[in-house]
């Protein structure tokens, strides 16, 4: 007999299959038990009738606890009323492990209680849905870059220097003599990759020792960073827009069940999937100042300002050309206004904040080394990076997408901590 995953159950209608999973829920009424069985790919209702199995087994099932692991055998029947559209008429059931009383119950639990038990909470429907959507988001991005001929170019995590400023670096000893830092971004290495392969992307964990306790900040998050030789700011904005749209399209196509579980308003995702709104930093400041009169031109936007801005539009919002003063050393100075840099932030709708940060890179040797001095960075440790401006420097651009922030918006979950299996936060390194 064939083992089937619940996700593929429709192919087995009318046939007998084996399902290997866990008891999600049990209800009994007289001579019938209804078992909700999950196997990681879906949930199916199994019906156990006293007439189909031995009395002893029927009695055992009547006390079976949540999350007990089971292997069941039965016939798949289409049933419109059943969640998922199919039911399993169970003929045999073996209990692999009878679970101890499961700590996560149907009642409301506080967030701390759940985060302490993240290793178990992952089994709950909403957490499960978030992470399945995360997987589709990453797959859709890989697909797009693959189709467009990008080389996957994994950047290192142990770094000799900072990329995004020195204030939020995690430092560690590197054997006897040296220090290493956990990567804040793979960008500098991706730039070397772009000069070798033309177009590359890196995807991996990145780290920020940020003392921020907000719903958008993790200390360890995943960033996807494409980098393209001969691309200018406009080219890279178009790439970012295409990528987000491809991701939304894939999720809408493949993850309807999960979006329903999360009660996500999919009309909002569809509305976001059209030509992105684009404004300059200067115009964004005007919008912000309408509601926040203390905002001064030249500052970076705070979370509330970003919410005001994104609420104006139904698509993600592209904001370009910020003041040079508030941006990192590697961004290219705007040839039309040397107080600005050729950079872009993309804000998700509904107040989810910045999901993408990117720029055209400074490709001029003299300006770059000048920027390094201005930012008080150690030029010696960046010599390899400066080499990219000595040997065949070309205009090039790239961006970084924060996977968890994008997933949070797509799922409609408030806090990024639910969009990664084991979140690392200012006050949490457990489990
Ligand atoms: O804007 P950021 O800092 O840009 C960079 O690191 C560039 N070097 C990327 C590049 O051009 N290749 O970070 C990029 C994105 C942000 O827009 C945000 O989505 C996410 O990374 N991000 C975080 N996500 C969760 N927690 C944090 N603490 C984050 N910090 C940044
Ligand atoms: Mg940024």
The pLDDT tens digits of the residues spanning 307-322 come to 999 999 999 999 999 9
How far does the centroid of ligand 1 lie from the alpha carbon of residue 76, in Å?
Answer: 47
Name the residue of 161, 203, 223, 317 whose CB sits within 8 Å of the most ligand 1 atoms, as the mutation to test its pocket: 223
* DSSP-based three-state secondary structure for 356: strand
Angle at the Cα of 411 (from 409 to 412), degrees rounded to 5? 60
Residue 112 lies in a domain: no
Residue nearest to atom 22 of ligand 1 (CA): 402
Overall average pLDDT of the 48-55 stretch: 94
Tell me the CATH number at 63: 2.40.50.140
376 and 242, same structural domain? Answer: yes
Residue 145 lies in a domain: yes
Residue 113 lies in a domain: no
Using CA atoms, how far apart are residues 32 and 51, in angstroms rounded to an integer?
9
162 and 48, same structural domain? Answer: no
User: For ligand 2, a single-atom ion, which residues have Cβ within 5 Å?
Assistant: 357
Instruction: Please say whether the beta carbons of 46 and 27 come within 8 A.
Output: no
308 and 245, same structural domain? Answer: yes
Average pLDDT, the chain: 96
How far does the centroid of ligand 1 lie from the alpha carbon of residue 206, in Å?
Answer: 9
Using CA atoms, how far apart are residues 123 and 40, in angstroms rounded to an integer?
8
What is the layout of strands, in order, in the sheet containing 220-229? Answer: 151-152, 199-207, 220-229, 396-402, 353-360, 343-348, 317-320, 277-280
233 and 93, same structural domain? Answer: no
Name the residue of 354, 360, 403, 408 whose CB sits within 8 Å of the most ligand 1 atoms, as the mutation to test its pocket: 354
Q: What is the pLDDT of residue 163?
A: 79
What total of structural domains would you count in the chain?
A: 2
Of 163, 125, 191, 213, residue with least CA distance to 413: 125
15 and 136, same structural domain? Answer: no
Residue 426 lies in a domain: no
How far does the centroid of ligand 1 lie from the alpha carbon of residue 152, in Å?
Answer: 19
With residues binned 3-state (H G I as helix, E B as strand, rest as coil), the percentages for the chain, rounded to 5, are 35, 30, 35
159 and 75, same structural domain? Answer: no
State if residue 208 touches ligand 1 by the CB under 6 angstroms criterion: yes
Of 16, 68, 77, residue with least CA distance to 44: 77
State if residue 419 touches ligand 1 by the CB under 6 angstroms criterion: no
Residue with tokens 């009547």: 62
How far does the centroid of ligand 1 lie from the alpha carbon of residue 401, in Å?
Answer: 6
Q: What is the pLDDT of residue 1?
A: 82
What is the layout of strands, in order, in the sheet containing 171-174? Answer: 158-159, 178-182, 171-174
Residue 238 backbone phi and psi in degrees, to 5: -65, -40
Q: What is the pLDDT of residue 182?
A: 97
Q: Is the peptide bond before 129 cis (omega within 30 degrees of 0)?
A: no
Percent of the chain beyond pLDDT 70? 100
338 and 298, same structural domain? Answer: yes
168 and 220, same structural domain? Answer: yes
State if residue 193 touches ligand 1 by the CB under 6 angstroms criterion: no
Residue 1 lies in a domain: no
Residue 286 lies in a domain: yes
Residue 111 lies in a domain: no
Using CA atoms, how far apart are residues 417 and 419, in angstroms rounded to an integer?
6
Name the residue of 205, 221, 415, 424 whose CB sits within 8 Å of the most ligand 1 atoms, as the mutation to test its pocket: 221
127 and 75, same structural domain? Answer: no
Overall average pLDDT of the 15-23 stretch: 98
- Predicted confidence (pLDDT) at residue 373 exceeds the cutoff of 90: yes
Confidence of residue 407 (pLDDT cuts 50, 70, 90): very high
Instruction: Please say whether the beta carbons of 394 and 195 come within 8 A.
Output: yes
Most distant pair of Cα atoms in the chain: their distance:
85
State if residue 191 touches ligand 1 by the CB under 6 angstroms criterion: no
208 and 74, same structural domain? Answer: no
Tell me the CATH number at 294: 3.30.930.10
State if residue 352 touches ligand 1 by the CB under 6 angstroms criterion: no
Instruction: Estimate to the nearest angstrom the gap between the alpha carbon of 303 and the chain centroid.
Output: 19
- pLDDT tens for each residue of 131-189: 999 999 999 999 999 999 999 999 999 998 877 888 899 999 999 989 999 999 999 99
Using CA atoms, how far apart are residues 335 and 11, in angstroms rounded to an integer?
60
- Predicted confidence (pLDDT) at residue 290 exceeds the cutoff of 90: yes
Which of 64, 97, 130 is the last residue in one of the domains? 97
Which of 68, 97, 126 is the last residue in one of the domains? 97
State if residue 187 touches ligand 1 by the CB under 6 angstroms criterion: yes
State if residue 225 touches ligand 1 by the CB under 6 angstroms criterion: yes
Domain of 142, in residue numbers: 118-419
State if residue 145 touches ligand 1 by the CB under 6 angstroms criterion: no
Name the residue of 150, 185, 224 whose CB sits within 8 Å of the most ligand 1 atoms, as the mutation to test its pocket: 185
Ligand lying closest to the C-alpha of residue 353: 1
Ligand lying closest to the C-alpha of residue 300: 2
Residue 109 lies in a domain: no
Which of 97, 129, 161 is the last residue in one of the domains? 97
How far does the centroid of ligand 1 lie from the alpha carbon of residue 402, in Å?
Answer: 6
Q: What is the pLDDT of residue 161?
A: 85
How far does the centroid of ligand 2 lie from the alpha carbon of residue 152, in Å?
Answer: 23
State if residue 217 touches ligand 1 by the CB under 6 angstroms criterion: yes
Q: What is the pLDDT of residue 82?
A: 86
Residue nearest to atom 7 of ligand 1 (CA): 400
Tokens of 265: 């308003």
Evaluate if pTM is beyond 0.85: yes
229 and 184, same structural domain? Answer: yes
Q: What is the pLDDT of residue 283?
A: 98
State if residue 210 touches ligand 1 by the CB under 6 angstroms criterion: yes
Q: What is the pLDDT of residue 84?
A: 84
72 and 190, same structural domain? Answer: no
How far does the centroid of ligand 1 lie from the alpha carbon of residue 87, in Å?
Answer: 45
- Predicted confidence (pLDDT) at residue 389 exceeds the cutoff of 90: yes
How far does the centroid of ligand 1 lie from the alpha carbon of residue 312, in Å?
Answer: 23
Q: Which residues pair with 235 in a beta bridge?
A: none
State if residue 354 touches ligand 1 by the CB under 6 angstroms criterion: yes
How many beta carbons lie within 10 A of that of residue 13, not counting itself?
Answer: 12
Index of the ligand 1 atom closest to the CA of residue 401 = 15
């Amino acid at each position: 007999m064939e083992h089937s995953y619940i996700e593929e159950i429709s192919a087995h209608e009318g046939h007998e299959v084996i399902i290997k999973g866990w008891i999600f829920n049990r209800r009994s009424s007289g001579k019938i038990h209804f078992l909700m069985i999950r196997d990681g790919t879906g949930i199916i209702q199994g019906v156990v009738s006293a007439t189909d199995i031995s009395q002893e087994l029927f009695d055992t099932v009547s006390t079976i606890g949540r999350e007990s692991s089971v292997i069941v055998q039965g016939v798949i029947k289409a049933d419109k009323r059943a969640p998922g559209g199919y039911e399993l008429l169970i003929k045999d059931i073996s209990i692999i492990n009878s679970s101890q009383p499961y700590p996560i119950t149907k009642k409301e639990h506080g967030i701390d209680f759940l985060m302490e038990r993240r290793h178990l909470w992952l089994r709950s429907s909403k957490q499960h849905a978030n992470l399945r959507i995360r997987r589709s988001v990453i797959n859709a991005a890989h697909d797009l870059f693959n189709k467009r001929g990008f080389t996957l170019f994994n950047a290192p995590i142990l770094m000799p220097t900072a990329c995004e400023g020195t204030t939020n670096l995690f430092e560690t000893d590197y054997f006897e003599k040296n220090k290493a830092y956990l990567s804040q971004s793979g960008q500098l290495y991706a730039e070397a990759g772009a000069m070798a392969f033309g177009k590359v992307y890196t995807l991996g964990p990145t780290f920020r020792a940020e003392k921020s306790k907000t719903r958008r900040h993790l200390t360890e998050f995943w960033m996807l960073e494409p980098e393209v030789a001969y691309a200018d700011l406009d080219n890279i904005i178009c790439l970012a827009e295409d990528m987000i749209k491809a991701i939304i399209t894939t999720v809408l196509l493949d993850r309807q069940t999960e979006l329903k579980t999360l009660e996500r308003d999919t009309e909002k995702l569809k509305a976001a999937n059209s030509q992105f709104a684009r404004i300059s930093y200067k115009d964004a400041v005007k919008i912000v100042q309408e509601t926040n009169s203390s905002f001064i031109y030249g500052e970076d936007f705070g979370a509330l300002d970003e919410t005001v801005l994104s609420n104006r539009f139904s698509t993600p919002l592209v904001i370009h050309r910020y003041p040079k003063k508030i941006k990192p050393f590697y961004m290219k100075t705007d040839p039309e206004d040397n107080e600005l840099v050729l950079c872009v932030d993309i804000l998700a709708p509904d107040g989810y904040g910045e999901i993408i940060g990117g720029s055209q890179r400074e490709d001029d040797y003299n300006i770059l080394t000048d920027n390094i001095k201005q930012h008080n960075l150690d030029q010696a440790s960046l010599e390899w990076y400066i080499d990219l401006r000595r040997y065949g420097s070309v205009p090039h651009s790239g961006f970084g997408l924060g996977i968890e922030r994008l997933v949070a918006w797509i799922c409609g979950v408030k806090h990024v901590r639910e969009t990664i299996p084991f979140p690392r936060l200012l006050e949490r390194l457990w489990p």
